[in-house]
Structure 1
């Protein structure tokens, strides 16, 4: 899940071509469309499953490799950082060099990185493997979804995206449970070994059945912009993680934060000069709807990323759950999301996205408040109501957000808009995880007070997301009369 439900990437497939600008659509293959769909599901599942499984294994990794709070946060952030900053570049590379080629390259990189993670004798090598996994995911994820969008059209595209989203939800449900069982019976290294046969099958099917022909004028690449975005985000993330773990702003953390902000400002300057050839054309932010939706996404998915990391960690470390039990505790979330998202998608398509996004975010905030009771009772009385409430709220948000993002810009920019929104969702999780060092450094029952404080912050963040949606999303955005603004 990359710490997030697969629905946060639905717009990538619906747009048909992430990061695509002037390139023409690739020719649709006549043969084996269902096998192409299976290839897309297999390859994207590598990116989705690993995040949630690693969350369940974080406590075991910390014990085995002697990792502290800030160090453990990098097991998650090492993956999210390149995925957040390189996602748009990965889509543009597919447009320029061929989506099939970049997809297979991304899967191979992810597989090699998984092997490095599985064999890592020290924490820094595991983090290095996670960074490499993030690079592979940034290559494979947008291109697997672009291939899906290019293979199907009309009603068959909607059906294929629905099957892909359902498969992602199933992976979200099974992944933590399977991962917890593997951790309890074999060890945490097995959660990385299991990627190898999945990757091998995805490579074979991609090589054998994906037959897309190159389009017209290739998309422009912006590697310097991607480098600046990665460095800037990396500096900010490290500074926040260090300050959180130390419980105060150290000189090194302050310098890292200042450097990160300056580099990100340089990134914006270079993107402005690059114009339409930029990784992120800044004129998109002339749409208040687009800007508001991305701020809402950052706040809401940042809070969700913190939840998906903290809940299994606290259940294991503070409340004595096994890894398998902690994985099972997350099971209601993807089930409710899978059932509720399609229903809310139809509501948004008929009546606009503003109210579902606003009300759904408020329900999520209420769920975070309910989660502050975790530790004061059993699973059924504390964890389950919170997870069900948060899942219900996210079901109200996920599909309408896709509709709203695609409606907030003109048709020629839907690919870049959806890719950027997916990157923002990961970026929210990245920043949130960086701030959790203060929680991860605690042990036993001492975890509960900072955990509850983090949940209150998440509730405020989700409520702020509701305000953003209500203020900046047009009542008709995503509805039958959406004007793209």
Structure 2
């Protein structure tokens, strides 16, 4: 789309104070979400759960947030955005403290569910306020700030998490997040003004149930594949359930006045393309980040602090890129800018597909920054807001938020499951090959595979005697195999992510160069905030 000139309208100091308070709440939520990435391998070890089931830490959070985004967006439009935001901050703080004292894995998952509820009351509201506070010509910059604050939150969260966990253990991340959420509650209470949209009709309860089924089934597929296999009746049944629920949601949503998901917005070509691009980009990014988390933590001599540094460098670069790209989106052709921006992460993942278990950490961190600098979320938000009616900013931004929270767990859980499978296969193959080359009897290869599956915890007496007679220690075989397994896993997953970015580039090319001009958006006078103007017109 060509950049369009808009009248110069000054944003007041009062509006900027409101916006900074709002992005602080988003910062807190993102920081808490980023804490999870380096922590998952440690938490799974602490509670003795397999890596693919550790994905429940992510799934439990995102299933709730993804389901509730459209609901909280509508509640915010109807009852007040500030009210819903305060409720969300309170729930989030309490559930973070609860997670910190989790006695069991199940208790932690329940706490994560409530964290998802809290975050669902935060993100769509902050995005909606961008449309409320800023005129169209300033939304690119505002979206860039929002994106950069998220990136800074992710950078600090991931970077600090690795070091804090090494010193204090995994519960510390929840204590810190709970404390910050408490501060955020009072910041919102004192500095943000109330704002409402327009909502008619009753809440779509049937649509809400369908949305929950879709979220639970779609987001569980990767974990089910890892646990039972793709051909399992559980996996197949879940896939069928997801497809049927999506079809019913579309059919049903087109036939009622106030669906839980605004299907009418999805019928706009540009918005639908942006939603699809956002979904794929988020999934690809999370797939890479969580894969790298396990790669850096599990490779020989690796540790969780390196995983945190990877997230920190990636998010730090995204913070810089978000500001630059957000500013440029107000001045240059957005379609061309999207293409140029996505070339950066595509190049980065192609380079990552060439690394191995012993690649220098500094080189990997430089690629993390190169990947992060190509953060184009600001452009996507601007495109989306241009195609959402102002009175439905809450519902529309809720839909955009749900896309992100479908993409994030899809990518992260798929990354965890695929890394586990690629790693296990290559690790076992490496140990078997080493054992064969060392002269271990072919009849003991089943014992070798069993020992590989348990990382040496279970070694048969016959295999132990054979290794001793050959002067071999299984630990030496395992160390080499761990390097081979992690190398194979990260190279395959990097190429997978590269494929996602190729698809994204194709979708960007389908965005129309120009859109028909819309009726001018009513902008508040200098002395009156836009949020107050909307409140006046809706009362």
Distance 1:389 1:462 in 2: 15
1:361 is aligned, of 336, 342, 345, to: 342
User: Which has more radius of gyration?
Assistant: 2
Residues 1:440 and 2:479 are matched in the alignment:
no
Residue aligning to 1:452: 491
Aligned with 2:404: secondary structure? helix
For structure 1, which runs of at least 5 residues remain unmatched after alignment? 1-29
- Kindly report which structure 2 residues correspond to 1:178-189, keeping only aligned pairs within 5 A, or say none: 178-189=160-171
1:46 is aligned, of 28, 33, 44, to: 28
Distance 1:364 1:351 in 2: 21
Residues 338 and 211 of structure 1: CA distance in aligned 2, closer, same or farther (over 3 Å): closer
Residues 98 and 381 of structure 1: CA distance in aligned 2, closer, same or farther (over 3 Å): closer
Q: Give 1:218 deviation, angstroms.
A: 5.9
Q: Give 1:482 deviation, angstroms.
A: 6.0
Aligned with 2:255: secondary structure? helix
Residue aligning to 1:419: 398
Residue aligning to 1:262: 244
User: What TM-score does the superposition give when structure 1 sets the normalisation length?
Assistant: 0.83
Distance 1:161 1:77 in 2: 27
Distance 2:129 2:381 in 1: 18
Distance 2:325 2:242 in 1: 38
Distance 2:384 2:196 in 1: 27
Distance 1:113 1:281 in 2: 30
Q: Give 1:127 deviation, angstroms.
A: 1.9
Residues 1:280 and 2:280 are matched in the alignment:
no
Distance 2:272 2:119 in 1: 25
- Kindly report which structure 2 residues correspond to 1:335-354, keeping only aligned pairs within 5 A, or say none: 335-354=316-335
Distance 1:482 1:245 in 2: 51
Q: Give 1:37 deviation, angstroms.
A: 3.8
Distance 2:168 2:384 in 1: 42
Distance 2:369 2:306 in 1: 17
Q: Give 1:96 deviation, angstroms.
A: 1.7
Residue aligning to 1:476: 514
Residues 149 and 202 of structure 1: CA distance in aligned 2, closer, same or farther (over 3 Å): farther
Residue aligning to 1:134: 116
User: What TM-score does the superposition give when structure 2 sets the normalisation length?
Assistant: 0.75
Q: Give 1:81 deviation, angstroms.
A: 1.9
Residues 155 and 467 of structure 1: CA distance in aligned 2, closer, same or farther (over 3 Å): closer
Distance 2:277 2:195 in 1: 37
1:383 is aligned, of 344, 361, 364, to: 364
Distance 2:17 2:362 in 1: 44
Indicate conservation of the 8 Å contact 2:147/2:378, yes or no: no
Residues 1:75 and 2:57 are matched in the alignment:
yes
1:311 is aligned, of 271, 292, 295, to: 292
Residues 1:228 and 2:207 are matched in the alignment:
no
CA RMSD of aligned residues (A): 2.9
- Kindly report which structure 2 residues correspond to 1:23-42, keeping only aligned pairs within 5 A, or say none: 36-42=18-24
Indicate conservation of the 8 Å contact 2:344/2:373, yes or no: yes
1:86 is aligned, of 68, 82, 86, to: 68
Residues 178 and 252 of structure 1: CA distance in aligned 2, closer, same or farther (over 3 Å): same
Residues 1:401 and 2:380 are matched in the alignment:
yes
Residues 268 and 217 of structure 1: CA distance in aligned 2, closer, same or farther (over 3 Å): closer
Q: Give 1:75 deviation, angstroms.
A: 1.0
Distance 1:122 1:141 in 2: 29
Residues 113 and 307 of structure 1: CA distance in aligned 2, closer, same or farther (over 3 Å): same
Residues 282 and 476 of structure 1: CA distance in aligned 2, closer, same or farther (over 3 Å): same
Moved more, 369-378 or 193-202: 369-378
For structure 2, which runs of at least 5 residues remain unmatched after alignment? 1-11, 425-481, 520-539
Q: Give 1:447 deviation, angstroms.
A: 3.3
Residue aligning to 1:21: none
Distance 2:282 2:381 in 1: 14
1:271 is aligned, of 237, 253, 262, to: 253
Aligned with 1:56: secondary structure? helix
Residue aligning to 1:329: 310
Q: Give 1:326 deviation, angstroms.
A: 2.1
Residues 448 and 213 of structure 1: CA distance in aligned 2, closer, same or farther (over 3 Å): closer
Q: Give 1:408 deviation, angstroms.
A: 4.1
Residues 37 and 188 of structure 1: CA distance in aligned 2, closer, same or farther (over 3 Å): same
Distance 1:171 1:282 in 2: 32
Residue aligning to 2:105: 123
Indicate conservation of the 8 Å contact 1:77/1:433, yes or no: no
Residue aligning to 1:463: 502
Residue aligning to 1:248: 230
Residue aligning to 1:238: 220
Q: Give 1:145 deviation, angstroms.
A: 4.3
Distance 1:456 1:44 in 2: 32
Indicate conservation of the 8 Å contact 2:96/2:115, yes or no: yes
Residues 32 and 344 of structure 1: CA distance in aligned 2, closer, same or farther (over 3 Å): closer
Distance 2:145 2:342 in 1: 25
1:314-357 Cα deviation digits (max 9, x unpaired): 10112433323321223332232222233333433333222222
Indicate conservation of the 8 Å contact 1:69/1:438, yes or no: no
Residues 84 and 273 of structure 1: CA distance in aligned 2, closer, same or farther (over 3 Å): same
